[in-house]
Structure 1
Amino acid sequence: MKRILTAILLVAFLLLPGLILGNDPMAEWQPKFDPRGAEHTYLLSCVGHPAIEGVRVGFRIRDRVWEETKGRLFVDYRPMSQLGGEMDVIGKLRMGAIHGMMSSSVAAPNVSPRLGLVNLPFLVGSFDQLQQFRNDAELFEKYGAEALRSGIRVADFTAYGGYGWATRTPVTSLEEAQGVIFRIAQAPVNIDMYRAWGLQFTVMPWPDVPQALQTGVITGLDHTPTVTGTANFFNTAKHYTQIDYAQGLYIHLINERWLQRLPEDLRETLLRIIAEESHRARLAGQEQDQREIAKARAAGVSFYRLPEQDLAAMKGQVEPVIKQWEDRIGADFLQQVRQRLNN
């Protein structure tokens, strides 16, 4: 109940200013067609904001599916937590009450531990590694195999940049990072990672972050430039340390039972369009990340890279974390990924 209330309050916070002014903030995203005549509806959820390319893709999928199925299948896309928080939506996805979700890579391991692969530090850290991983058909099939056995298909994913540190004070070394209180995601692998690094951190729900950062309850944010910029956190955190220890993803998950009930031609069209638009969104996400960095620099935000010896130390410190997650992800699969991505 607490999670549901938090999700409702977050949506209200996002939507209320526009409604007071007589503007619906989702108006520009409404379909240019009448979906009431559709034979089938695909209810798709996402907690993210469509200002992010990796989230906006849901609307592109919606419009293309409508056009190419000649109005037979309507993708009813609901971003911005309209259908609830991620843990609630995962439960509804399993039951089939919601047909699909674009889950953050942080929440996705709750569907299948193997989906936590992309959260492991310095494994799929660069955009090129991410593309290499996605384009390897064998690796991608194995990545989603465990989820599929539980009734959830991993259709594809989009990206929103490499993770680093947005901070109120400069962090140019691992020693300087010791003085920062970081907000990290509510994910076990992130907790293990920060403990291994010996850094101060707090696990905090996303709606609490703006006030905490402004008041100094936290002095750093573990996230990507795209999310930091589109959420306006660079107004408070004027420093960013680029680490790229992992790529932020929205993983497109579908209830397999619902999918198999679709007519075969509609199923094939939906999956093809998801794959094509997700590929385009990954490229657009990389470009957006660079735009947000340039925009932040122009606004006076300073960007840094850690010295090579500090990065080497961080990689060594988290190696036990990767070892610890081997059994959950699959030791053979993890080793295969590391070999093919030259880790």
Structure 2
Amino acid sequence: MKHLKTSVVALLASASFATAATACDITLKSSDTHPEGYPTVAAVQYMGELLEERSNGRICVEVFHSAQLGEEKDTIEQTQLGVIDLNRVSLGPFNNIIEETKVFSLPYIFRGTDHMHKVVDGEVGESILNEFSNHGLVGLAYYDGGSRSFYNSKKPITSIEDVEGLKFRVMQSDVFVDMVSALGGNATPLPYGEVYSSIQTGVIDGAENNWPSFESSGHYEVAGYYTLDQHLIVPEVLVMSKKSWDGLAPDDQELIRDAAKDSVPVMRELWAAREKASEEKVRAAGVEIVEDVDKTPFINAMDPVYEKHVKSDKLKDLVQKIRAVE
């Protein structure tokens, strides 16, 4: 891993880590809502480096970061249509499209990051990736999305009672909406790019996300209270348009799938470093961090969410398998 980390740093520092590809036979257009330098963006760029090298310069990846191609809901549709070739998206927006992805978005389904890694790297993760093919997409790999916690501009949340009445932005996912409602808050689905101004103007009181997103978005500038309730550990997913995929030779499909898988450990290295740096920056800015929160009432409040969204035998089986992973 030390050698891997050194190689990644060298690649990230090299001038060849460009987002534009000009001399390739096949250039895959990739979308990400996060900014340049964010771990997911850098990981897809690294995947592109691998592809270019392994295809002898035939296949390249052009990464459009910072929501240049649109917010996640829009880019998912564009990827299904083949307008975008590759897309890094949180699993949340897929919850209303691919039923099986709901299990990874269930509150407190994962005991921690290590547990999540074992699940997505195993049988359950692979079975859910396979479901994307029924929706115009090819699931390639999972990236880290960190643990998500609540932040707001009004007050520190030290107990479940403090959530009552607060307006929180959530992703366009029924699971996320019902999670906030179960805690007594008011959920407002909004595109990621609208969160800063919405908190600033009082349209919403806050949102929920991980350390790097809280920091890189600047949300910590307008939301001075962050409670580490860690209600979600939702993986990110890298998908490809099935239309684009079907137009490739089997050997090139294999190259892409392997490069995507090989970018995962790199992404995890970068994520761990970025998470630490973002936390330090947020703390230095004076945000009030609530760390000693009793999660038990939060967990117990999720029973109605599970009852509503885990109805089919298939989903119940997936939940059982996730909980059984040691």
Q: TM-score, normalised by structure 1?
A: 0.82
Alignment of 1:21-60 (within 5 A): 35-60=21-46
- Counterpart CA distance in 2 for 1:298 and 1:83 is 33
State the 1:188 CA deviation. Answer: 0.7
State the 1:78 CA deviation. Answer: 1.7
Relative to structure 1, the CA distance from residue 248 to residue 285 in structure 2 (aligned partners, 3 Å threshold; closer, same or farther) is farther
Relative to structure 1, the CA distance from residue 130 to residue 266 in structure 2 (aligned partners, 3 Å threshold; closer, same or farther) is same
Alignment of 1:145-294 (within 5 A): 145-168=130-153, 169-178=155-164, 180-294=166-280
1:93 corresponds in structure 2 to: 79
Correspondence 1:81 to 2:58? no
Segments of 5+ residues of structure 2 without an aligned counterpart are 1-13
- Counterpart CA distance in 1 for 2:45 and 2:322 is 32
State the 1:189 CA deviation. Answer: 0.6
**1:223-280: CA deviations, max 9, x gaps?**
1121111111212222210111212433111123432432333222221111111222
Relative to structure 1, the CA distance from residue 49 to residue 70 in structure 2 (aligned partners, 3 Å threshold; closer, same or farther) is same
1:325 corresponds in structure 2 to: 309
- Counterpart CA distance in 2 for 1:97 and 1:170 is 43
SS in structure 2 at match of 1:320? helix
Measured on the aligned residues, the alpha-carbon RMSD in Å equals 2.4
Amino acid at match of 2:139: V
**1:114-139: CA deviations, max 9, x gaps?**
12222110002521122111221x11
Task: Give yes or no for contact 1:35–1:71 (8 Å, CA) kept in 2.
Answer: no
2:319 corresponds in structure 1 to: 334
Relative to structure 1, the CA distance from residue 340 to residue 167 in structure 2 (aligned partners, 3 Å threshold; closer, same or farther) is same
Relative to structure 1, the CA distance from residue 331 to residue 179 in structure 2 (aligned partners, 3 Å threshold; closer, same or farther) is closer
Task: Give yes or no for contact 2:149–2:230 (8 Å, CA) kept in 1.
Answer: yes
- Counterpart CA distance in 1 for 2:230 and 2:87 is 25
- Counterpart CA distance in 1 for 2:320 and 2:19 is 48
- Counterpart CA distance in 2 for 1:40 and 1:242 is 44
1:312 corresponds in structure 2 to: 296
1:142 corresponds in structure 2 to: 127
State the 1:193 CA deviation. Answer: 1.0
- Counterpart CA distance in 2 for 1:313 and 1:29 is 50
- Counterpart CA distance in 1 for 2:297 and 2:88 is 34
- Counterpart CA distance in 2 for 1:225 and 1:29 is 28
State the 1:111 CA deviation. Answer: 4.0
- Counterpart CA distance in 1 for 2:134 and 2:221 is 45
SS in structure 2 at match of 1:293? helix
State the 1:284 CA deviation. Answer: 2.0
Q: TM-score, normalised by structure 2?
A: 0.86
Identical aligned pairs, as a percentage? 21
Task: Give yes or no for contact 2:31–2:67 (8 Å, CA) kept in 1.
Answer: yes
Correspondence 1:296 to 2:282? yes
**1:52-78: CA deviations, max 9, x gaps?**
212321222222211221111011222
Amino acid at match of 2:114: D
2:11 corresponds in structure 1 to: none
Task: Give yes or no for contact 2:47–2:262 (8 Å, CA) kept in 1.
Answer: no
Q: Name the structure where helix makes up a greater proportion of residues.
A: 1
Amino acid at match of 1:195: S
Amino acid at match of 1:156: A
Segments of 5+ residues of structure 1 without an aligned counterpart are 1-27
Task: Give yes or no for contact 1:174–1:306 (8 Å, CA) kept in 2.
Answer: no
Aligned length: 311
SS in structure 2 at match of 1:330? helix
Task: Give yes or no for contact 1:29–1:59 (8 Å, CA) kept in 2.
Answer: no
